[in-house]
Amino acid sequence: MIDHDFDNEEPPLWDVALAALVTEKYHNKKKPLHIADFQQLSTKYAIRFDDIMDTVLRMVIHNKWVYTEPDGCVRAITEDEFNNMHKSGRLVNSDLKELDGNWSPVG
């Protein structure tokens, strides 16, 4: 029998179910995702758009996903930027208007 100590595990840094959903979308599409793809997932599965983007942004911050500007330059997203996007409590489309490039898993 495996003895597992759940009390000492680190909580996930993002929603793992949403991470799996966007990763599956990426693999099915076979090319980087855009904000419209995340909005489509939100509508299709009745999931809050800001919850999806919160997960994706966290994965970018922790180098599991990458955001690339429309001109092809990779752009890091910092914790400070992430926190500033949440000033009103929840992400809204206007918080993401400048992030209209490509989103994809690292590797």
Q: What is the per-residue burial (b if ≥16 Cβ within 10 Å, else e) of 85-107? A: beeeeebeeebbeebebbbbeee
Instruction: Give the pLDDT score at 6.
Output: 57
Q: Token pair for residue 106?
A: 């690292």
* pLDDT tens by residue, 4-47: 555 667 788 999 999 999 999 999 999 999 999 999 999 999 99
For residues 46-54, give the mean pLDDT: 95
| pTM of the predicted model as reported, rounded to 2 decimal places | 0.86
Choose among 79, 86, 80: nearest CA to 51: 86
Please state the domain extents for the chain. 13-105
For residues 58-67, give the mean pLDDT: 97
Instruction: Say yes or no to pLDDT of 87 above 80.
Output: no
